[in-house]
Structure 1
Amino acid sequence: MPAMPVVPADERTTHRHAQGEGAHRRPEADPLAALRAPQDPPWDVYLTGTVFLDVVFTGLDSAPVRGTESWARGMGSSPGGIANMATALARLGLRTSLAAAFGDDHYGDYCWDALAQGEGIDLSPSRTVPGWHSPVTVSMAYEGERTMVSHGHEPPPEEPSPDCPPRARAAVASLTPGVRAPWIAQAAARGTRVFADVGWDDTGAWDLAALPDLAHCEAFLPNAEEAMRYTGATCPRAAAHALTEHVPLAVVTLGADGAYAVDRRTGESAEVPAIEVEALDPTGAGDVFVAGFVTGTLAGWPLADRLAFAGLTAALSVQEFGGSLSAPGWCEIATWWRKVRSLQDPAALSRYAFLAGLVPDTPPGSWPLRRAVPTIGFRRPTG
């Protein structure tokens, strides 16, 4: 998603929905339950960015051809942009606070409601911008890949993200080449563990010196192509080791080959293969991977278990429509684990044995997950 800034305070207005409604919704499971204490920060994860409305077309046999009309067999709409990551974190049981700019339109209302009411995400740092329409991304999924077209008019004058982010165990930041976000250093100085990813470098420079906030991060999670371009390494694993000269923990996603990670502090490295699934829509899978890895890290799991869990959550997400609303919750993780146990797959039973102490033996109680739907704003039935 293209980065769009959080807008200046004097151009914000409080959304007509109550701030933070739905926050601290009881999750299906709490991976940090054994670690929680009264003096903890109020939030497990803080993040900031702009919310898009995502419209996703799936079931295309091929890429659209110029001058022709293509019909998709499936379509879904859901909050996108920074909402992908926020929803994935909340559905894994982390108390999530989001500072985001929302459009002043029905799209913005829908996205706000989906995140605050549907997912229990704290939106007290978020604002709606008067007269500003929601940015929109149309994503077309075909042949296991996707093509995206986005639109958003010129945003209000750029302002750095909040100078005083709330106290949180962790923060997720998306680094932009050549741009410093002051809140990252401030959060790190207060003890917040910062996990960073990065987008494609349109300048073509691929210079780590252009990512000054990386120095404040605990972990960096690029994909294989990004990691190799930034380091000049000829393979992703070598790139991961090279990145640890700049950040304590490097995690490089390898697509269909899984993920590889190196922790400079312990000297530990780990690699976990991807789970083979039939992908319906890969939108947001990278965000879900990061959310799974952050969850495992905050819970204190071994490095290999964190990679395995992140890969599992990403694999489950691509089997549903949309970005944010395809993120799995613990009910789906529990269902997958019960299936693995019933099939008695020795490799999976061994690799994912850590789930036995996390997922309930009986199906979780009712906490229905919203899913992407072809439209928004269905009228409620009358009578």
Structure 2
Amino acid sequence: MTGGARCRSHEASLTRKGATVNGVTVSESIDPLAALRTPDDPPYDVYLTGTVFLDIIFTGLDHAPVRGTESWARGMGSAPGGIANMATALARLGLRTALAAPFGTDLYGDYCWDALATGEGIDLGPSRRVPGWHSPVTVSMAYEGERTMVTHEHHAPPAAGTAPPASRACVVAFEPGRQEDWVRRAHAAGSKVFADVGWDDTGRWDTAALADLPYCHAFLPNATEAQRYTRTDSPEQAVRALAERVPIAVVTKGAEGAVAIDSITGESADVPGLPVDALDPTGAGDVFIAGFMTGTLAGWPLADRLAFANLTAALSVQHFGGSLAAPSWSDIACWWAERRGAEQARRYRFLAELLPAALSGTPCARAVPTIGFRGE
């Protein structure tokens, strides 16, 4: 980390939530924004919108499915996916999260609604139920550290109606050539826009096609996307080019970590990734963004924000599924308790100040849920 203004210390408070996550009551969490909260705050920390899928995940496959044969999986789970991956990651890190999404009135829609609203404590007030619309379903097969997916989806109706609710920040995935009216409204209302970007199928990779980029507070593409948009040869060159366009530029490098420049504070940082045995990369990018948003909204130094985002993403890929794998503060406390004396953990010494001694180091329970048992 170089330069920059004095940053806020890692102040947080332990809360007793009593929420049910994956059928298990979770009583402990951290409010990372506790030191910042005032009576005049907006009702939400983060607003996001998109499509929720019912994800059905098959695990324990020895190899890819072979044409004309039947493959047997040793494990299976189901959970909300799509935009629910990001919403769950944010909520589990203690941010007050509002989601606008269409939900079918079928069994799949009921299950996803209950899992997010009751299980994760996500506010679905901006969402709506759509009679007659079949909820999207994705079947994901995880093997050899990769995944193969099959999706069935009818055209999604609009996620929400008018202006987004007031929030500290919002999340958007840019699509080349597409502009989202709600992003401009959120920006005008003072919400900080955090964005990543999808693959450019046109092959043009023109930043002019990212119409909402001028409203962006932080832009977080991966290395391939960043280098193509900036016509550069390395993540380091790409992040410098992007920093001329947005206040905070972050380029993720997968297992190699991430590099970033915060033009607001004058900081720059390049933090290596954490070596882990990855089982399933589903949702890792969403979890990284959630971790970085948490640190940014809390006012942490840039290097700590990147390290925390790397950690949350690394914890997520060690489990199967998207929203299922998003880490809780208990997962983070468990990791820190096991490694705080190790050389690898020196970069994470800020966790000692952040994690209250009262927070148990018991990992978040991940009993594999299934829609079939929802009424029991």
Same fold judged by TM-score > 0.5? yes
Any idea what SS the aligned residue of 1:377 has? helix
Counterpart position of 1:142: 143
Mapped partners of 1:63, 1:74: distance in 2: 15
Instruction: Point out the structure with the larger strand share.
Output: 2
Deviates more, 1:90-99 or 1:315-324: 315-324
For residue 373 of structure 2, the aligned residue among 375, 378, 381 is 378
What is the Cα deviation at residue 124 of structure 1? 0.5
Residues 260-339 of structure 1 mapped to structure 2, 5 A cutoff: 260-339=259-338
Whole-Å separation in 2 of the counterparts to 1:110 and 1:179: 31
Alignment of 1:175-324 (within 5 A): 175-324=174-323
1:356 aligned onto 2:349: no
Q: How big is the alpha-carbon RMSD for the aligned residues of Structure 1 and Structure 2?
A: 2.2
**What CA deviation, in whole Å up to 9, does each residue of 1:328-366 have, x standing for no partner?**
11111111111113xx21341x21111112212244499
Q: Check conservation: 1:283, 1:318, Cα contact below 8 A.
A: yes
1:47 is displaced (CA, Å) by 0.4
Task: Letter of the 1:327 partner, please give it.
Answer: A
**What is the aligned partner in structure 1 of residue 11 from structure 2?**
none
> 1: distance between equivalents of 2:337 and 2:364?
19
Distance 2:338 2:364 in 1: 20
Q: Which amino acid aligns with 1:30?
A: D
- What amino acid is the match of 1:119? E
- Separation in 1 of the partners of 2:324 and 2:344? 30
Partners in 2 of 1:180 and 1:260 — Cα distance?
27
Counterpart secondary structure, 2:305: helix
- C-alpha separation between the residues in 1 aligned to 2:199 and 2:107? 31
Pair 370,60 (structure 1): closer, same or farther in 2 beyond 3 Å: closer
* Corresponding position of 1:346: 343
Scaled by the length of structure 2, the TM-score of the pair is 0.88
Identity over aligned pairs, percent: 68
Cα distance in 1 for partners of 2:296, 2:177 equals: 28
Match of 1:122 in 2: 123
| Structure 2 contact 99–127 (Cα < 8 Å) conserved | yes
In structure 2, distance between residues paired with 1:369 and 1:183:
36
Cα separation, partners in 2 of 1:294 and 1:138, compared to 1, 3 Å: same
Unaligned stretches of 5+ in structure 1? 1-20
Letter in 1 for 2:48: L
Are 1:44 and 2:17 matched, yes or no?
no
SS in 1 for 2:371: coil
Q: 1:286 to 1:215 in 2, by over 3 A?
A: same
- The Cα of 1:309 is off from its aligned counterpart by 0.4
Instruction: Write the distance in 1 (CA, Å) between the matches of 2:182 and 2:374.
Output: 41
Cα 1:162–1:256 change in 2 (3 A) is same
Paired residues of 1:104 and 1:129 also in contact (CA < 8 A) = yes
Equivalenced residues, count = 353
Q: In 2, distance between residues paired with 1:125 and 1:251?
A: 29
Aligned match of 1:80: 81
More displaced 10-residue stretch of structure 1: 27-36 or 118-127: 27-36
TM-score (norm 1): 0.87
Per the alignment, in what secondary structure is the counterpart of residue 51 of structure 2?
Answer: strand
Contact 1:162–1:183 (CA under 8 A) maintained in structure 2:
no
CA distance in 2, matches of 1:299, 1:59: 39
Deviation at 1:202, TM superposition (A): 1.8
